[in-house]
Structure 1
Amino acid sequence: MSRLALLSGWGCDARIWRPLDEHWPADLAVDTPDWPGHGTRPALPHPDSLEALAHAMRDALPADAIWVGWSLGGLLATALLDHLPAPRALVLLGMGERFCHPEGVDEAALAAFRGAFRRDPEATRAHFLRWQLRGEPAPRSAHRRLLALLGEATPAPRTTLAAGLAQLARLDNGRRLAQPPCPVHRLAGEADPLLAPAVRQAADRRIPRAGHCPMLSQPERLAAALSAIAAAPQRRLTAPEDSP
């Protein structure tokens, strides 16, 4: 049986994946492990340490699974390739080699966001949750669904969230993805506002009528795309295509 491990992004926890629950095929095992500091998992004393993160996530990210990292989750999952046995395949959803891009979210914009987070973490996270939904076909509906899943309370300690922002600013996976130890698949919503146009176009699959959060706006299409990869993880898609 194929196995997926779905990893959430910044400001969210594993509940973000619940809209996909009814769309998985019966022969696919799906795990949604939380990052340290999220859900019931204790926070790391040094949340910016990749070595500590790898140790904490070792059992949740086995080599016989396909790791699916969304947004910051994709950035971290790729970085953990240096510290954990390689998975059967890695799926990057809404993330490229790095987060900042001159034609997407540039370094100045991220620095301003980090400054706002230091001043008012809760309000800044709430703003981000709305902002990332701009590319969805019905942003207000998607926001209501997001709040129904996560609530309005911050899902992790301030230090954990601050470390995640630092990782968004710092991590560059260009070297790791140039010679990856496993097949790598790139998925993107066709209207993802956090990705530069070139990064969206370079994706192996673009999900129609979706932005940065296709699990909210297009759960059936996203589940179908991930299930197809799980069925043949050794085969990397060679040309960009739109999911049906």
Structure 2
Amino acid sequence: MSTATSPLRPLVLLHGWGLSAAVWKPLLGHLQPQRAVHLPDLPGHGNAAPAGETLASWADALLPALPDDGVLVGWSLGAQLALELAQRHPEKVARLVLIGASPRFTMCEDWPHGLSGATLDDFRAQFDSAPEATQRRFVALQSLGDRARKQVANTLTDSLTPADSSHHAALANGLRLLAETDLRPRLSRIAQPARLLHGSEDKLMPVTAAEWLAGQLPGGRLSVFGQSGHAPFLSRPADCAGLIEGFADE
């Protein structure tokens, strides 16, 4: 889905933890066919080689997939990578669309908008001993609260990166990044306009995290989808596509 002559800004879609670029398939059918769309797998996910252990090293590994003047559409961990890319390589990023996003996934004394540290620690410990069961649990949490819960869960399940020996270390490191990353101190470095999309019933990242984040980013605007969970682009693909493309070409 690309063209060398399209005047439309290209999109780069960055998926979340444990999945692959296949998760975007329901959204793709609602995007203009003449728009260039880039679908990289995150490091160590899908068919992508692993990268280092830091969010910065993952972002740098994604850099070759970024076209000039592109719009990064990041979901969940992919949203954190989009924010990292925007401040590390601003010349490559024109705009940001952040879905189910938060600058920090775990709660702390000055951040009530996330999962408890104990919950993510439990995920990490379970992943070491029962990775497939952990992925199923994560899928259930991401689809919880969505009006199309079964459909969302099925798409997520079909898009999982296998938790086999070739992917296990990278997936475990991704969970560590979710547990430890805090982008709040660096948000002031981001100059690109941002649009945020969030499900009102998101049980992984509360909408209050997106409300706070929208207030910290240039021209940050938040659209909340009722009866949607952590992946509104799966249950409301046409609505999300319209907002993404409208913002991309402003």
TM-score by length of 1: 0.85
Corresponding position: 1:61 with 2:79? no
Checking the alignment, whether the CA contact within 8 Å between 1:78 and 1:176 is kept in structure 2 is no
**Match of residue 91, structure 1, among 97, 101, 111:** 97
**AA of the residue aligned to 2:23:** I
CA distance 1:182–1:117, shift in 2 (3 Å)? same
Show CA shifts across 1:92-115 (max 9, x none): 110122112334312121112111
- What's the CA shift for 1:175? 2.5
Checking the alignment, whether the CA contact within 8 Å between 1:135 and 1:193 is kept in structure 2 is yes
**Match of residue 80, structure 1, among 69, 82, 85:** 85
CA distance 1:63–1:197, shift in 2 (3 Å)? same
Cross-structure match for 2:249: 231
- What's the CA shift for 1:190? 1.7
Give runs of aligned pairs for residues 177-188 of structure 1, distance below 5 A. 177-188=187-198
Cross-structure match for 2:219: none
Checking the alignment, whether the CA contact within 8 Å between 1:105 and 1:195 is kept in structure 2 is yes
- What's the CA shift for 1:144? 2.4
Deviates further, 196-205 or 94-103: 196-205
Q: What is the SS of the residue equivalent to 2:64?
A: coil
Cross-structure match for 2:206: 196
**AA of the residue aligned to 2:249:** A
Corresponding position: 1:120 with 2:121? no
- Equivalents in 1 of 2:10, 2:246: separation in Å? 12
- What's the CA shift for 1:154? 3.3
Q: What is the SS of the residue equivalent to 1:144?
A: helix
- Equivalents in 1 of 2:57, 2:127: separation in Å? 24
Corresponding position: 1:163 with 2:173? yes
- Equivalents in 2 of 1:130, 1:18: separation in Å? 19
Show CA shifts across 1:14-55 (max 9, x none): 0000001221124432211111222222223x3x13453244
Checking the alignment, whether the CA contact within 8 Å between 1:62 and 1:85 is kept in structure 2 is no
- What's the CA shift for 1:176? 2.5
- What's the CA shift for 1:179? 3.7
CA distance 1:182–1:197, shift in 2 (3 Å)? closer
- Equivalents in 2 of 1:58, 1:199: separation in Å? 27
Structure 1 gaps of 5+ residues are 233-244
- What's the CA shift for 1:63? 4.0
The count of corresponding residues between Structure 1 and Structure 2 is: 229
CA RMSD of aligned residues (A): 2.2
Checking the alignment, whether the CA contact within 8 Å between 1:54 and 1:84 is kept in structure 2 is no
- What's the CA shift for 1:83? 3.0
Cross-structure match for 1:206: 224
Checking the alignment, whether the CA contact within 8 Å between 1:207 and 1:222 is kept in structure 2 is no
Checking the alignment, whether the CA contact within 8 Å between 2:59 and 2:84 is kept in structure 1 is no
CA distance 1:89–1:157, shift in 2 (3 Å)? same
**Match of residue 2, structure 1, among 2, 9, 14:** 9
Corresponding position: 1:28 with 2:23? no
> Percentage identity across aligned positions?
35
**Match of residue 52, structure 1, among 37, 49, 57:** 57
Q: What is the SS of the residue equivalent to 2:10?
A: strand
Deviates further, 55-64 or 1-10: 55-64
Checking the alignment, whether the CA contact within 8 Å between 2:200 and 2:227 is kept in structure 1 is yes
TM-score by length of 2: 0.83
- What's the CA shift for 1:214? 1.4
- Equivalents in 2 of 1:113, 1:33: separation in Å? 25
